Amino acid sequence: MSRTTYREAVRAAIREAMQGDPRVFLMGEDVGAYGGCYAVSMGLLDEFGADRVRDTPLSESAFVGAGIGAAMGGQRPIVEIMTCNFSLLALDQIMNNAATIRHMSGGQLSIPVVIRMATGAGRQLAAQHSHSLEGWYAHIPGIKVLAPATLEDARGMLPTALEDPDPVLIFEHAGLYNLAGELADDAGAVPIDRAAVRRAGDRVTLVTYGGSLHKTLEAAERLAGEGVEAEVIDLRTLRPLDDATIMASVRKTHRAVIVDEGWRSGSLAAEIVARIMEQALYELDAPVARVCSAEVPIPYAKHLEHAALPQVEGIVAAVRAQLG
């Protein structure tokens, strides 16, 4: 075991992929000389050179499109977008090209591109750098959407994604890059097709992902002090959702609270609620609850940003309301 951070775990995954496969290269804004906007790619330019660590112009549509073309040509590009807000400038490339070409070509063409981007708030970067839009992308057929919340997943999801013949989007919560902990020296690829039970319990199911996982685990610890054992499910993969793990937990606890940093209306949380109602309605002892971000652009002021986001206190309150 070695002490590491989420940032270093992602860097290690990129480095190993580039060492093991000459088709893998990294491209994006400031990934080279600057070392990445979140310092994830620090040192990779010196190690692999400018052909494989490529600084791009500030045009998301252009460099995501170039990544799609490279993938069609047999390469394995890792495309980094600085923040998911800026990914909207490449939405045409992602939705109308990457996600559709396999279908439109009758299976003749595949797009094995991995697109990484930072998501989430909590660092006072205001509305244009702080939103959680992964739920939007989870709406699109033809892609996989991942949300690593642990060191193991930060290290292990990328190699599995690079083996996928179709586009994979990885949303790394910017508030997790400094997360530190122990990681096995031989940590490697992990599956990207199922959720994980991060804490066992029998009174209520808490479903979450990404940056909200650690808040949810803290809320579960507080609830345990009140005699309420909550089961915490980390979705890990937002498309496709692992319905089986969610429903198995709900059938055990008979209550569910969904914690999602996205906005409430039209949210990923709403989709999960609908699936629980479709598949496990008669198992419920209370309506499914949601804890989401306030429906405002994320504020800059620290106290307002805090108030706009799901917090431990709000999760605990939602569970108490569930239990009456």
Q: Is 129 among the residues known to form the active site?
A: yes
Q: How far, CA to CA in Å, does 147 sit from each of 75, 265, 315?
A: 24, 20, 20
Give me the catalytic one of 29, 60, 172, 271. 60
Location of structure tokens 């089961």 = 231
The SS3 of residue 276 is: helix
The angle formed by the CA atoms of residues 188, 65 and 189, to the nearest 5 degrees, is 5
Query: Is 229 an annotated catalytic residue?
Result: no
* Neighbouring C-beta atoms of residue 3, cutoff 10 Å: 9
CB-based contacts of 146, cutoff 8 Å, min separation 6: 153, 157, 161, 168, 169, 170, 171, 192, 236, 237, 238
**Helices 151-163/6-20 angle, 10° precision:** 30
Q: Which of 29, 129, 134, 172 is catalytic?
A: 129
Closest CA to 129 of 120, 138, 137: 120
Sign of CA dihedral 76, 82, 87, 89: negative
Catalytic residues: 60, 129
